[in-house]
Amino acid sequence: MPRPKGLLFDKDGTLIDFDRTWGPAARLVMSELAAGDEAAFDRLVQVSLFDPIADRFERTSPLVAGSPAGFGGLWADALGRADGPDFHAEIDRLFLHHGFASLAPIGNPAEVLGALAGMGFRLGIATNDSEVSARRQSEVLGLADMIEFVAGYDTGHGAKPEPGMVLAFVGSLGCAPDEVMMIGDSTHDLHAARAAGAIAVAVLSGPAPHDELAPHADHVIGTIADLPELVRRFA
């Protein structure tokens, strides 16, 4: 197998702990949107498949691997508000604010990505979070100088599982799709990789179990810490 040139990372569940980061943030965002209306808060919790006591999402929650463009309609209905770009932007602003207080990396992403950059790989992030959130979290985690490509659901390439983000990364590198690895913890990531013709690598650091991910992946590893060993197998 040829050696990949680019490594494209999902963010939530791959670089950062989804529940530890977004569980506390989601509770605060829902609370602000409900504005003291307990019934509205309860409706948000229910449609989000979220436990506000444990600050955890059910694995099938629409917020897991989703974006405001996807779950915004559910939240708008729960609040009796109009869905649309303005409402999505409000959700993004609230998550951007509250997400930093509980930002929790998985292991040491800066060390792992630094090692991969030192091996000559070009690195990017493709997330269904907003682009500005991805960039700011990358800065906090010490990744900004290593990452040359960042795409969010609002960047203009579409959202995963569509292949647009992966193809945009391929285009930015000027390489073939099969010279790029897409690394992620959900079937959205793997489907995006496969649709683009890239190498699909599943990590088991998110909510999805091995049996759900393996049929859609070319490789399955525990966390991104196992990635340097995996890429050394390529010629």
Q: Would you please indicate which residues are annotated as catalytic (active-site) residues?
A: 10
**Which helix (H) or strand (E) is 3 found in, with range?**
none
Query: Phi-psi region for residue 62, left (φ > 0), alpha (ψ -120 to 50) or beta?
Result: alpha
Q: Where are the alpha helices (DSSP H) in 13-147?
A: 18-34, 38-48, 68-79, 85-99, 109-118, 131-140
31, 45 contact by CB (below 8 A): no
Closest CA relative to residue 227, chosen from 14, 64, 1: 14
Cα 5 to Cα 12, 14, 119, 147, distances in angstroms? 23, 20, 10, 14
DSSP annotation string for 124-135: EEE-SS-HHHHH
183, 14 contact by CB (below 8 A): yes
